[in-house]
């Protein structure tokens, strides 16, 4: 019997596994597909994640900041001389994390679709199509549509706590990328393109990732409105992204000549997607637990933090022989302490500013004109400061806030 079983070999699962193995625990990770698999994701990894988790990944494109484009096509570059992060293909990056965990002694079982092994309603391990594996501790990291959480009755899906993302991987010559985009990631705002969402262009090696994301309730509302107005025109996220690529005044020029290699789509799940992130014999980390930024839709740093925290708490549980809900509550306390405020205030920032064209426009124009606000925004987007720290600084400088609302 292994000390801990982990479901899902994404960043949260592999980080939890590595943490446990380095603390002397025996760990097995179950992945429903191959260990090296592509995931629908923009692929941005912030500098704070690279530094805090000692990530020395060589295949990513170094980026030095981000460009924001407002609904009225005003742009501002938030860049610096130092590296702000990397833009990666998730197949390569995730496999790098798998290899790190393997070196620490973690066992992986690919093509192993894992479900809860319950005894009298109590979680006692996992079962696959072929075998049963017993353990007193399970960490659930199987993504935004967590099958494991669903099987345990923990999943609480709602159109208001889930978003849909659709993206293309597009081939584009590196020299063209350098000339038109450079080593920066780009975000585009505007409800005329994506209602209550945004679009991104992330440069990589000989290709760019171009995608859009918005709330499920926003898509539903848009379709109902079109039906009410008796418009039979088909509309979905793919068609909206196609229109953006073809007609956006700024982006269409940057993407001219790019060819689609393949498309991807995925669901983003936010806080509240599961009833609890801990309970008797289990913890939930990463996308499966709703650890995603409301402001940006990014989840890499939160996945790494929640995964490591889950590993630390699970290791303590193994040492003490206490796998009770009461003891494992420590996991929520620790994640709240580390990223809880950031998630909460990121949600507030989205509601106050980022959900409205006027708020997005004011944000970009204010950052354009104010050096202090620009430098503060660079730190925020690098995730060097949290959203609560960003908003606290604004409240300490009320005249800066006025620039965002007037």
DSSP string, 265-313: EEEEE-TTSBS-SEETTEEE-GGGGT---TTT---HHHHHHHHHHHHHH
pLDDT given for residue 344 in this prediction: 87
* Contact in structure between 41 and 159 (CB atoms under 8 Å): no
Give the Cα separation of 70 and 275 in Å (integer): 36
d(CA 330, CA 204) in angstroms, rounded, equals 39
For the chain, the first-to-last Cα distance in angstroms comes to: 62
Instruction: Check pLDDT > 90 for residue 296.
Output: no
Domain boundaries, the chain: 4-61+87-157+273-339, 162-269, 347-405
Q: Among 151, 154, 251, which residue's Cα sits nearest to residue 199?
A: 251
DSSP 182-200: -S-EEEE--TTTSTT-EEE
Task: Name the DSSP class of 233.
Answer: -
Q: What is the pLDDT of residue 271?
A: 80
The CATH superfamily of 162-269 is D-Amino Acid Oxidase, subunit A, domain 2 (3.30.9.10)
For the cut 70, the answer to whether the pLDDT of residue 406 exceeds it is no
Residue 285's pLDDT is 98
Asked if residue 281 lies in contact with residue 137, where contact means CB atoms within 8 angstroms, the answer is: yes
Distance between CA 36 and CA 90 in Å, rounded?
A: 9
Q: Which of 338, 308, 313 is nearest to 328 (CA)?
A: 313
- Please tell me what DSSP assigns to residue 62: E
pLDDT score of 405? 58
| pLDDT at residue 199, as a whole number | 96
**Is residue 84 a contact partner of residue 66, using CB atoms and an 8 Å limit?**
yes
Q: What angle do CA 146, 189, 266 make, to 5 degrees?
A: 20
What is the spatial distance between Cα 214 and Cα 20, in angstroms, rounded to a whole number? 36
Q: Which of 29, 201, 222 is nearest to 107 (CA)?
A: 29
The closest alpha carbon to 347, from 222, 160, 152, belongs to 160
In tens, the pLDDT along 166-181 reads 999 999 999 999 999 9
Q: Measure the CA–CA gap between 199 and 171, rounded to whole angstroms.
A: 18
The model's pLDDT over 184-216, given as tens digits with 9 standing for 90+, comes to 999 999 999 998 899 999 999 999 999 999 998
Contact, 399 vs 372, CB < 8 A?
no
Q: Which CATH number fits domain 4-61+87-157+273-339: 1.10.287.110, 3.40.50.300, 3.50.50.60, 3.20.20.370?
A: 3.50.50.60
Nearest by Cα to 7 from 329, 55, 94, 16: 16
Are both 4-61+87-157+273-339 and 162-269 of the same fold?
no
């Amino acid at each position: 019997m292994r000390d801990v079983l982990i479901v899902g070999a994404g960043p949260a699962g592999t980080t939890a596994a590595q943490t446990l193995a380095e603390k002397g625990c025996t760990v097995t990770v179950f992945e429903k597909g191959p260990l090296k698999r592509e995931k629908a994701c923009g692929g941005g990894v912030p500098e704070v994640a690279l530094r805090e988790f000692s990530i020395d990944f060589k295949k990513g494109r170094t980026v030095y900041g981000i460009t924001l484009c407002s609904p009225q096509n005003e742009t501002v570059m938030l860049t610096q001389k130092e590296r702000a992060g990397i833009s990666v293909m998730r197949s390569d990056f995730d496999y790098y994390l798998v290899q790190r965990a393997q070196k620490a002694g973690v066992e992986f079982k690919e093509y192993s679709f894992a479900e809860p092994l319950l005894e009298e309603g109590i979680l006692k391990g996992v079962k696959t199509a072929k075998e049963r594996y017993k353990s007193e501790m399970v960490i659930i990291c199987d993504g935004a549509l967590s099958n494991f959480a669903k099987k345990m009755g923990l999943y609480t899906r709602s159109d208001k706590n889930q978003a849909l993302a659709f993206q293309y991987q597009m081939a584009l010559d590196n020299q063209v990328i350098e000339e038109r985009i450079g080593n920066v990631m780009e975000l585009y705002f505007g409800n005329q393109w994506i209602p209550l969402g945004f679009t991104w262009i992330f440069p990589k090696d000989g290709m760019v990732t171009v995608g859009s994301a918005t709330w499920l309730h926003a898509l539903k509302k848009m379709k109902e409105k079109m039906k009410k107005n008796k418009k039979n025109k088909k509309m979905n996220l793919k068609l909206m992204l196609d229109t953006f690529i073809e007609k956006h005044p700024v982006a269409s020029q940057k993407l001219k000549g790019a060819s689609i290699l393949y498309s991807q789509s995925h669901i983003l799940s936010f806080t509240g997607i599961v009833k609890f992130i801990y309970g008797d014999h289990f913890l939930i980390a990463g996308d499966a637990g709703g650890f995603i930024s409301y402001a940006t839709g990014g989840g890499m740093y939160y996945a790494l933090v929640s995964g490591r925290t889950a590993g630390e708490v699970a290791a303590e549980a193994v040492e003490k022989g206490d796998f009770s809900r009461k003891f494992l509550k420590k996991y929520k306390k620790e994640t709240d302490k580390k990223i809880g405020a950031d998630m909460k205030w990121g949600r507030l920032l989205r509601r106050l500013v980022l959900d409205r064209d006027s708020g997005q426009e004011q944000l970009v124009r204010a950052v354009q004109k104010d050096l202090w606000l620009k430098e503060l925004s660079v730190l925020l987007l690098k995730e060097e400061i949290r959203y609560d720290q960003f908003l606290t600084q604004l409240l300490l400088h009320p005249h800066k806030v006025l620039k965002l609302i007037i």
